[in-house]
Structure 1
């Protein structure tokens, strides 16, 4: 029995019906892999937008001036890609790197995590960013931004050991989040 091949039009219709996440944005990417589950290098052009403004009309100047999460609206497919991490070794946010481009078109290079089975879709780890016609810049501003906002926390060691919000939470809830009594019992038992 001989089966006929599907028509070119049918194949094109199937290809166009595939979800945006199935597109490959790895071409030209120089992103360094982290070994994270479902990561793929992704380089694309996007507009930096304020999702609260877009969804609710609650708009502020400059996408919230660094106080709100921003989104990359990918030009190739209008998908909203969430830049939740920058290129620093710790899991620092990307707002400090991306927000200054609010309302602008940028090209980004990083790692895209997209796996609907685990609930991670369009999560992006931006490593480099550049405005239209501009030069690439490493996405590594978070700790400098944190230090500028918390000059009273200057000192040696990782930022989170000096962060006023973290220290306040530890004072209130203990290191384990179970209170000072649970901390004392744990320390006595383990150390």
Structure 2
């Protein structure tokens, strides 16, 4: 009988280990990311440069990275992903809440071995006291609004983004100043 229980315990152990201190009440959907744990908590949305370096003149301006200053323990949490499959960050989704108190629900990644500390994937956000959640998936719509001609083209967004194309034009693929074929040949 023990030979059957030991494998079951080994399979169940990783799932149990995924519950962290902020897991209670979380409805976050797993992305099967290493070391993820559901995390729902209250925080203030802050401008990262202002919070970390004191550069507050343009706090909450477009293009600035935003963070979550957790209410429970005062820890600055880095929301580097939203609820979309693409890794575009969460600043677009958090910008309307900058310098406001919110509740967020998502996945927290913590692992001392790889050095991941307070890395957060926000899936939904709401102002404190509000009942309705906002799904954190606004990046693609915001990008399409900013670049309608690029959005109308076929293909992946980054192949049509004028900013990406300008960087490739100026510096080549991989920033080497070479075309992608020349850059490939340099590696051979």
TM-score over 0.5 (shorter chain) = yes
Q: Does 1:84 align with 2:80?
A: yes
How many angstroms does 1:23 deviate by? 5.5
Is 1:29 aligned with 2:26?
yes
Is the partner of 2:168 in helix, strand or coil? helix
Q: What TM-score results when the alignment is normalised by the length of structure 1?
A: 0.76
Which structure would you say has the larger Rg?
1
TM-score scaled by length of structure 2: 0.77
User: Which residue of structure 1 lines up, in the alignment, with residue 53 of structure 2?
Assistant: 56
State the Cα distance separating 1:176 from its structure 2 match: 5.5
Alignment counterpart, residue 101 of structure 2, candidates 83, 102, 105:
105
Question: What is aligned with 1:164?
Answer: 162
Distance 2:104 2:33 in 1: 19
**Counterparts of 2:146 and 2:67, CA distance in 1:** 23
Equivalent pairs counted in the alignment come to 164
Unaligned runs of 5+ in 2: 1-18
What SS does the corresponding residue of 2:80 show, helix, strand or coil? strand
C-alpha distance in 2 between matches for 1:186 and 1:73: 43
Q: Distance in 2 between matches of 1:30 and 1:80?
A: 22
Asked if the contact 1:176–1:183 (Cα under 8 Å) also holds between the matched residues in 2, the reply is no
